[in-house]
Structure 1
Amino acid sequence: MITSVDAATAGQNALLAAESLGYNGVMVGLIRDQSSEISKVLNLPDYTYPIFGIALGKAARLNKVKPRLPLEATAFKEKYVEQTSETIEKYDQVQEEYAGNRRLNKWSERIVDQWGQPEISASTENLKAKKLL
């Protein structure tokens, strides 16, 4: 799994290269949620595991870029800085303004729902099946 970072970096570079040629694209994370199914569809051999996908094309229209957490909440100099609830509440508001009525719950609630659970067992099972664990 150490090479996951290398793969993600290569994917990001591929996306940047495509964008420099006038294409639009998006990295598809959470592929691991359906890793067994994707492995079957792509006929992936042992010792391989899908990390992400990239969707590329020419957009019919461009949407606003989704606001990201502020840099001071994600990049640190010399040491990690614990984020306050105020930082999260501000970002909840930014996300609410961006999403409008498309979302019923706050960004922070969705993150807790998504990442506040143990690792998805299907991912672990697929990693074992692919002889990576």
Structure 2
Amino acid sequence: MNDVIALLKNHRTYRNFAENYELTDEELEAILSASRQAPSWMNGQAYSIIVVKDKALREKLVAINPTNPHMLHSSVFLLFVADLKRTQMVAQKEQVAYEITDSLNPLIIATTDASLALQNAVIATEALGLGSVIVGSVRNQIEAVSELFNLPDYVYPVAGLSIGKPTVEMQIKPRLPKQAVIHYDTYKEYDYQLIEDYDKTMKKFGEARETKLWTKKFADYYSVSGDKSFNDYLKKQKLL
């Protein structure tokens, strides 16, 4: 099997890192360079990466988001932000309107660009024999995180990434059955039994963090009204 494909298929998430391990400058630069080479809509590169090495700053970050102590104990923490400030500056310089709130498309573009850069960073990390965990919960305390990192308008945090040397080996987590995810030429209905079978697979996998069946977890999550403060935040950032 191709080495890159083997690496991708071997992906797993790590949350326990050696606290005395420090990434070399060369390793960090390799990860950041790979991240910056990610695909981007129209080469707009509508994202930025904040490299967080300072321990005091990371302590404040964990105080905001205490369920993710690895943000402090990892070797480095990267914050990926959707960034439409750069093109706002261009519009201002060119003295043209900047009508990004007329459609959700610019927000989707910037979020996708940031996510692709994030995924490249994950792959580069694993290629170096290191581990990582994506932290989407930075959006749960989005106002506090934004203030901590002085995010300007037209910018919002998409997710963070803790990177380090793993101290606990993890298993490869099973994914949904291929028949429930892959469609050829057109979207096709499939037997719901595939989803129920996945519940059984995940229950057998027995990850300690998973306290609910997969179906129950997402039935509960999407059965309640969304966090409207997130929408309010995006409006404050001039993104909606």
If you compute each CA radius of gyration, which structure gives the higher value, 1 or 2? 2
Other-structure match for 1:81 = 188
- What is the TM-score normalised by the length of structure 1? 0.88
Query: 1:93 — aligned with what?
Result: 200
Aligned to 1:52: 159
Structure 1 position 128 matched with structure 2 position 235 = yes
Letter of the 1:38 counterpart: V
Residue from 106, 116, 121 that aligns with 1:9: 116
- Structure 1 segments (4+ residues) deviating >3 Å: 100-104, 116-119
Unaligned runs of 5+ in 2: 1-106
TM-score (norm 2): 0.51
Decide whether aligned partners of structure 1 residues 122 and 10 sit closer, same or farther in structure 2, where only a CA change above 3 A counts: same
Q: Distance in 1 between matches of 2:190 and 2:141?
A: 32
Out of 49-58 and 94-103, give the one that drifted further.
94-103
| Equivalent residue in structure 2 for 1:119, among 226, 230, 234 | 226
Q: For residue 80 of structure 1, what is the amino acid of its counterpart? A: Y
Q: How far apart, in 1, do the equivalents of 2:219 and 2:174 lie?
A: 19
Deviates further, 10-19 or 102-111: 102-111
C-alpha distance in 2, partners of 1:103/1:45? 36
**Larger strand share, 1 or 2:** 2
Q: Which amino acid aligns with 2:163?
A: L
Q: Report the Cα distance in structure 1 between the residues aligned to 2:207 and 2:153, rounded to whole angstroms.
A: 44
Q: Tell me: CA distance 1:116–1:31, structure 2 relative to 1, closer, same or farther (3 Å).
A: farther
CA distance in 2, matches of 1:100, 1:20: 25
Deviation at 1:18, TM superposition (A): 1.2
- The one-letter code matched in structure 2 to 1:110 is K
- Letter aligned with residue 191 of structure 2: T
For structure 1, the 5+ residue unaligned runs are none
Aligned pair in 2 of structure 1 residues 104, 54: CA closer, same or farther (>3 Å)?
closer
What's the counterpart of residue 147 of structure 2? 40
Kindly indicate whether residue 162 of structure 2 is the aligned counterpart of residue 26 of structure 1: no
